[in-house]
Amino acid sequence: SQQGEEDPQALSIQEGENATMNCSYKTSINNLQWYRQNSGRGLVHLILIRSNEREKHSGRLRVTLDTSKKSSSLLITASRAADTASYFCAHMDSNYQLIWGAGTKLIIKP
Amino acid sequence: SAVISQKPSRDICQRGTSLTIQCQVDSQVTMMFWYRQQPGQSLTLIATANQGSEATYESGFVIDKFPISRPNLTFSTLTVSNMSPEDSSIYLCSVERRGPGADTQYFGPGTRLTVL
C-alpha cells in the first residue's frame, strides 16, 4: 500500500544546482530508504537511514530524517545531467514491507 | 546484496492473453515480493510470496488475475492473466534482506509489459 508522500512531484533545475526532495510518512518506521529509477531501468537503492539516525551522507547525497515530524529529505548537491531520474522514498513497516511514496521526477537541465 | 534477474525484460501482448514473468535470485530468500508500477505512478505491492505457502495478496489484487508460484527459495513466477491495456506496467520482483537493526529490499530489473 502507498502511505507515503513526496514533494515536489516534479523538479527541474540547472546543472550544478542542489536538488532537495522531501518525503513524509504516517507510521512508525524501522528505516527509511531512498531509491532512484532511471527511465527504462530498474530501481537502484541509494541510501538507507535508520530510525535512530538523523543524517547520513553518501557522496553527493545527503539524507535527513526527523522522526518527530515523520519526514525525510534527500539533498543532491552539485547536480549533474546523469542525476535526471525519478526518486522514491520508502519506509519499512513492522511487517517488513516497503511502503512507497509517489516519487519525485527530477530533471537536470544542461 | 542480492542479484535478481527477470524474464522477459519486456513484452508486447494482445488483450485477453496471459504472460508469465519469471524471477530468479542468486541466493535463497524467504520472502519475495511482486510489485507493479503503472506509468507515472509509484510502486504498488501486488503480493508477497513465501516458499511453501499461498501468496498473500494486497487489496485490489486477486489470485485469479495474478497467480503466483514459489516452488523454491530462489525462484518465483507472476502471471498476468486475461490482460487488458490497463495492465500495461513495469512489474518488479524483489527480495528482502534482514540485517541487525536495518532491513532493505533488492529489486529485479523489471519487466515492461505493454498490452494492446
- 8 Å CB contact of A102 and B106: no
Q: Which pLDDT band holds residue A50 (cuts at 50, 70, 90)?
A: confident
Put simply, the answer to whether B107 touches A31 (Cβ < 8 Å) is no
Q: Do A42 and B109 count as a contact with CB atoms less than 8 A apart?
A: yes
Write down the pLDDT at residue A1.
39
What contacts A52, CB < 8 A, 6 or more positions away? none
Q: What are phi and psi of B23, to 5 degrees?
A: -130, 125
| CA distance to partner chain B, nearest, from residue A95 (Å) | 11
Q: Quick one: pLDDT band at residue A97, thresholds 50, 70, 90? A: low
Cβ pairs A/B, distance under 8 A: 59
Q: Compute CA distances B24 → B66, B75, B112, whole Å.
A: 18, 5, 17
* pLDDT (average), residues A37-56: 79
Compute the distance between CA of residue B110 and CA of residue A44 in angstroms, rounded to an integer: 12
Cα separation of B56 and B62, whole Å? 9
Residue segments in chain B with a per-residue pLDDT below the cut of 50? 101-102
What's the pLDDT score for residue A51? 87
